[in-house]
Amino acid sequence: MIEARFSGRLGQFALDAAFRVPGKGITALFGPSGCGKTSVLRCVAGLSRLPGDLVVNGESWQSGRRFRPVHRRPLAYVFQEASLFPHLSVAGNLGYGRRRSRAGAERIAFDEVVGLLGIAPLLDRPVPRLSGGERQRVAIGRALLSQPELLLMDEPLSALDRISKDEILPYLERLHAGLSIPVLYVSHDMAEVERLADTLVLMEAGQVRAAGPLGEMLSDPALPLLHRPEPGAVLDGTIRCYGPHYGLSEVDIPGGRMLVPGELGPNGGRARLRIAARDVSLGRLPPDDTSILNALPARIIGGTPAGDNQMTVRLALGEAGEGTVILSRISRLSWDRLQLTPGETVITRIKAVALVDPLTLPR
């Protein structure tokens, strides 16, 4: 468990932030520019000192007047810019990270990092000949080889163009699946958060608005995330099988099973799916004459006005509503005409196009 509380002023900026999140997986600090995400990260690193408390997996790093200095905190920090040593090769930069590790602390092997980040072909290459995405992968590798107990990432993709972002995101997903190091990940890009995060800390004007599992935060009517123009639900499922004849994979999710285009990975592997609310329609009867492949029963949790005579409907998959929560964006006319009410079971009709960007994670 990571428990943090910082309160004070950094120049003209007032920070009063507290959160408690799991000490594993990826926790995203999310919010608009200037809301205090990087300030929190710097306090966790010990680069900025404010009154407060910090406990990382049972170990106190800050409490009252006790303050563990930066060099004694077993963490690594990945900045927006890769900041590699230009006079060293890729292997030389990685070796620097290894030399900074504490004696006897090696838990992450050199070959493991090189394999997870796909940088074996780059080891002899000089830094000036790397692309932006390659530089950032090497910077992450160097950080990991310092054997941190906590990895801090401050908008590591913000300096990259879209092509470079698309190049590096699968490697970040692979790290998420393959390593047990907790990560605090700063971002103002919800697409990144939905792809990578397990837990979300929502920040606003120097304070923590809410913190919790990503799926719950995305569907909470008290939070602004539900009221975005394009809300959606993120689901983690298990790949059941792949049917090559139709090119579809079966994915088990809490409360049902879905058909997803493409071969997502080995049977038993994990796949993350995003279902846009606009791609979920509702009905009372299973469709019998439609091209839509996924029609699952779900129980209505509630409906929230979404402006422009729209409603965002929150639904728990499964006949009894025992499954994961998804969202549907329908017109207010449809809500009234169908006389939808919380607690009743309906059929969700999910367009296949909503499932074309799954994120495959090795088990």
Q: What is the pLDDT of residues 186-226, one digit of tens each?
A: 998 898 899 899 999 999 999 999 999 999 999 999 999 99
- Do the strands 150-154 and 183-187 form a parallel or antiparallel pair, or are they unpaired? parallel
Domain containing 272: what range?
A: 232-361
pLDDT, residue 359, reads 47
pLDDT at 276 over 70: yes
Claim to verify: residue 207 and residue 250 sit in the same structural domain:
no
**Residue 331: alpha-carbon gap to chain centroid:** 30
Q: Please write the tens of the pLDDT for every residue from 132-141.
A: 888 999 999 9
Q: Which long-range CB contacts under 8 A does 318-324 form with residues at least 24 apart?
A: 318/254, 318/255, 318/256, 319/345, 321/255, 321/345, 322/254, 322/255, 323/253, 323/254, 323/255, 323/256, 323/298, 324/215, 324/233, 324/235, 324/253, 324/254, 324/255
Q: Which residues make beta-bridge pairs with 350?
A: 280, 294
Domain count for the chain: 2
pLDDT at 279 over 70: yes
Q: Give the per-residue pLDDT at 313.
A: 97
What is the predicted pLDDT for the residue at 362? Answer: 40
pLDDT confidence of 360, banded at 50, 70, 90?
Answer: very low
User: What pLDDT shows up at residue 80?
Assistant: 83
Amino acid at site 335:
W
At 140-182, the pLDDT tens digits run 999 999 889 999 999 988 888 888 888 888 888 888 877 888 9
In a shared domain, residues 177 and 292: no
pLDDT computed for residue 64 by the predictor: 86
32 and 65 share one domain: yes
Share of the chain above pLDDT 70, in %: 95
- The CATH number of residue 178's host domain is 3.40.50.300
53 within some domain: yes
For residue 25, the one-letter residue type is: G
* 150-154 vs 75-78, strand pairing mode: parallel
Residues 115 and 249 in one domain: no
Query: What six digits make up the tokens of 361?
Result: 């994670």
CB 272 within 8 A of CB 361: yes
Which of these ranges, 2-11, 107-116, 316-325, has the smallest mean pLDDT?
107-116
Q: How far apart are CA 342 and CA 15, in angstroms?
A: 39
Summary count for the chain: helices (H), strands (E) = 8, 21
Look at 247 and 357; give whichever has higher pLDDT.
247
Residues 138 and 256 in one domain: no
Q: Is residue 258 situated within a structural domain?
A: yes
Domain final residue, candidates 213, 246, 276 = 213
In the chain, where does DSSP find H-type helix?
A: 37-45, 90-99, 110-117, 132-144, 162-178, 190-196, 214-218, 332-337
pLDDT at position 356 is 42
H or E stretch at 360: strand 359-361
Residue 272: pLDDT over 70? yes
Is residue 174 domain-shared with residue 117, that is, in the same domain? yes
Alpha helices in 83-231 (DSSP H): 90-99, 110-117, 132-144, 162-178, 190-196, 214-218
DSSP assignment, residue 358? Answer: -
> What is the pLDDT, as a whole number, of residue 7?
95
Give the pLDDT mean for 276-282.
94
Q: pLDDT digits over 288-345, tens only? A: 788 888 999 999 999 999 888 999 999 999 999 999 999 999 999 999 999 999 999 9
What pLDDT does 105 receive? 62
Q: Is a pLDDT exceeding 60 seen at residue 185?
A: yes
The answer to whether the pTM exceeds 0.85 is yes
The pLDDT-based confidence of 269 (bands split at 50, 70, 90) is confident
Q: What gap in Å lies between CA 185 and CA 108, rounded to an integer?
A: 20
